[in-house]
Structure 1
Amino acid sequence: MRIADFSVPDTAAARAALELAREYQTPAITAHALRSWLFAEAFARDGGFDAIDHELLYVSAVLHDIGTVTAFDNHTLSYEDAGGHVAIALTAGAGWPRERRRRALEVIVRHNWTSVDPMMDAEGHLLEIATGLDISGARVDVLPEDFVREVLAAHPRGTLAAEFAACVSDQAARKPGTAARRLVDGGVREKLAAHPFERL
């Protein structure tokens, strides 16, 4: 398994999502988004998910944390909901039909669920387990180590641990009824600091 096995969708929505992420997010958060996409695609291959919407998965992965940035932070919505609405706006501009735009919102929101049934939402499941791997170290032994090392070399973690911990802590303090509070209470700061990827 290599990065070259997974092609970035050559579409207006995919290009715009990456451009938006790079313009508004820090390099560490954008690198996390790209690792999450690659890990999601790798989990899809490992798990035999043959019928997924690759463009939907890419756009959702790239934008899944964009609701944390100041320009898109919503004072009442969780950051994943806010980011999902950014994805709706972006994909509307790319000509996606309404139902598919709503799927981007669903996938982004569900990435912060404790688990997603793959029979209900394959793309949501893949993004949830991919971000769980990159943030908390869940399923750390599933993907080939050579592939993980290649992904980390291409998209280094940098200051992710400090940035994401601070960001989610801020969200949890201001929006205690959201998933950010659960992440903080579940020890996300400690999990990030102790993540085995920090030592690779």
Structure 2
Amino acid sequence: MTHEGKDGQRPSRRTVLQRGAGVAAAGAATALTGPPAAAHPLPSPRSDALPEAVAGVRIPGSGPARQAVRLARRVSSETLFHHVMRTYVFGALLFDRRGVRYDRELAFVAAVLHDLGLVEEFRTPAERFEVDGADAARRFLERLGMPAERVEVVWDAIALHTSVGIATRKRPEIALVSVGSGLDFTGDGLERIPSDALDAVLTAFPRRGFKQEALDTVLSLCRTKPMAELMHPFAEVGRRHLPGFPVPTLEDLLLAAPFDE
């Protein structure tokens, strides 16, 4: 697919980037600070019982863990909620089998909250969904009183979870979210999950049309804030499915760079 202007010429780099400038300017304040804290009150206590363990993986039951589950359940579809839970269990299964030591509560909270940026309530007009999710999780955990250094680990885990080559070089709680979510999204590493463990995970947290819902969500992001997908893997989906998708490729950006050569 090419990205030509009305006159058939390749747009300049300035033109390409200015397409998203209006959206970026409109969303700058929200992207930096997020909505007011009162706009997203802490979920009220209610019975959201989870199993104590799935496939031999313990499900943390601390206060922050329970609050994270309540928030994720409140704002997510059942399919998305099951995905974030599978993310934790799959990541833990892989790491536990390798004997990796990690903070289980921190990894769990990060996994449960890692897709908040896909939820309408937490989307900003211009940021990548990973950053929207990380910012929403930070605001939420700060309101819970979680220590700043732990909040920053969760922020990094969420912001980096689609950048597997970076996340897996970070501390294990960050790596676990990337590895677990990647396994559930693409199946990468599935061969390392024993069949009985896989059955237990899919029984506890069934997929229920996850592939189609995920694709629909990606396309929604591409439609509503396309310039947030600049140099993001989601842009490939937008180019395939959305006629006239305005986001330039890396090649477009390179060749439009304002240098004489």
Partner of 2:177: 127
Contact 1:88 1:102 in 2 (8 A): yes
RMSD value over aligned CA atoms?
2.1
2-structure distance, mates of 1:110, 1:165: 20
Structure-to-structure mapping, 1:1-200, within 5 angstroms: 3=54, 5-50=56-101, 52-116=102-166, 118-173=168-223, 174=225, 175-177=228-230, 179-181=232-234, 184=237
> How far did 1:31 drift?
0.3
> How far did 1:172 drift?
3.4
2-structure distance, mates of 1:158, 1:12: 29
Contact 2:134 2:154 in 1 (8 A): yes
Partner of 2:246: none
SS at match of 1:112: coil
> How far did 1:160 drift?
1.0
User: 1:119-160: CA deviations, max 9, x gaps?
Assistant: 522122111111111111111201111101110011100021
1-structure distance, mates of 2:209, 2:99: 33
Distance of aligned partners of 1:119 and 1:132 in 2 relative to their CA distance in 1, 3 Å threshold = closer
Contact 1:32 1:157 in 2 (8 A): yes
Regions of 4+ moved over 6 Å: none
Q: Structure 2 unaligned runs (5+)?
A: 1-52, 241-261
Distance of aligned partners of 1:183 and 1:101 in 2 relative to their CA distance in 1, 3 Å threshold = farther
Contact 1:73 1:82 in 2 (8 A): yes
Structure (1 or 2) with the larger CA radius of gyration: 2
Contact 2:183 2:190 in 1 (8 A): yes
2-structure distance, mates of 1:112, 1:125: 10
Distance of aligned partners of 1:4 and 1:132 in 2 relative to their CA distance in 1, 3 Å threshold = closer
TM-score (norm 2): 0.66
TM-score (norm 1): 0.84
Q: Structure 1 unaligned runs (5+)?
A: 188-200
Distance of aligned partners of 1:180 and 1:168 in 2 relative to their CA distance in 1, 3 Å threshold = farther
The number of residues matched between the two structures is 185
- Amino acid in the other structure paired with 1:130: G
- Amino acid in the other structure paired with 2:230: G
Distance of aligned partners of 1:59 and 1:179 in 2 relative to their CA distance in 1, 3 Å threshold = farther
Structure with the higher helix share, 1 or 2 = 1
